[in-house]
Amino acid sequence: MIMILGGTKDAREIVVQISEKKYPLLVTTATEYGGSLLEAYEGCDVLTKRMSAQDMETIIIEKQIQLVVDATHPYAVDVSQNAMIACQNRKIPYLRYQRNESAYDAYEDILITVEHMEAAADYLAAVEGNVLLTTGSKSLEVFTSRIPVQRLYPRVLPTAEVLKKCETLGIKPGNIVAMQGPFSKNMNMEIIKMFNISILVTKDSGDLGGTLDKLAAASACECEVVMVRRPRVNYHNLFENKEDLVCKVSEIYEKILSNHD
């Protein structure tokens, strides 16, 4: 069986390509929402769970996993590191798919880059204006602990769990942009105008993650952008092309199958 660490659009596209080969798949996601997007794929088992390296080793043993494909978000560093440790310990192949970074040279006049969320929050605390947070719900506490919540407009998934978290952190319903992407340049512009946003905070999630559409919208609205750089991780067996990755998966798995004949 092949385990795919998912939760991204990239992962779903990889699942589609590999499932066409009729290989048995176990796809893991950290959230129930991510898992629900995969339930329609025939022959694909879905596991929704946040896993330590030990948890992954247990799954590898129980499910007889012979290959792990890591297609998690570029910022999901802990998951990737746990997967590399588990694969090394169980002596099975680990392949990483990493979407390309965005080319944002054209937006340098509005762009400030920082190394982590805390640095972004510290910068925002020192300036004025409404802030559109497009970095997800996981890091909300970093911003609400440093910045008055009335300035913050988080764009988050419209799930009960996420909305409850916003409420617990003191963010008023009128400040919550509860929507599911993807978001076009025009949609981003409308949100920026609607909430009189001065600063947009984003990760470099690549073109597929909508980064360029955010930058284009911010530029058109003369809105500043604070971008949190990607963490630097020494990935094993890194691929930036899905087709190359799937070919490698086939090569490895077919060899495993032939050795078992």
The per-residue pLDDT for range 205-258, each reduced to its tens digit, is 777 668 899 999 999 999 999 999 988 888 989 999 999 999 999 999 999 888
Confidence of residue 261 (pLDDT cuts 50, 70, 90): low
User: Using H for helix, E for strand and C for coil, what is the string for the chain?
Assistant: CEEEECCCHHHHHHHHHHHCCCCCEEEEECCHHHHHCCCCCCCEEEEECCCCHHHHHHHHHHCCCCEEEECCCCCCHHHHHHHHHHHHHHCCCEEEECCCCCCCHHHCCCEEEECCHHHHHHHHHCCCCEEEECCCCCCHHHHHCCCCHHHEEEEECCCHHHHHHHHHCCCCHHHCEECCCCCCHHHHHHHHHHCCEEEEEEECCCCCCCHHHHHHHHHHCCCEEEEECCCCCCCCCEECCHHHHHHHHHHHHHHHHHHHC
Confidence of residue 170 (pLDDT cuts 50, 70, 90): very high
The pLDDT assigned to 253 comes to 92
The pLDDT tens digits of the residues spanning 6-58 come to 888 888 889 989 988 889 999 998 777 655 666 555 568 888 888 999 999 99
pTM: 0.78
Region 183-202 average pLDDT: 97
The pLDDT assigned to 101 comes to 74
Domains of the chain, earliest start first: 2-100+232-260 (3.40.50.720), 105-228 (3.40.50.620)
The pLDDT tens digits of the residues spanning 94-141 come to 999 987 777 788 898 999 999 999 999 999 999 999 999 999 899 999
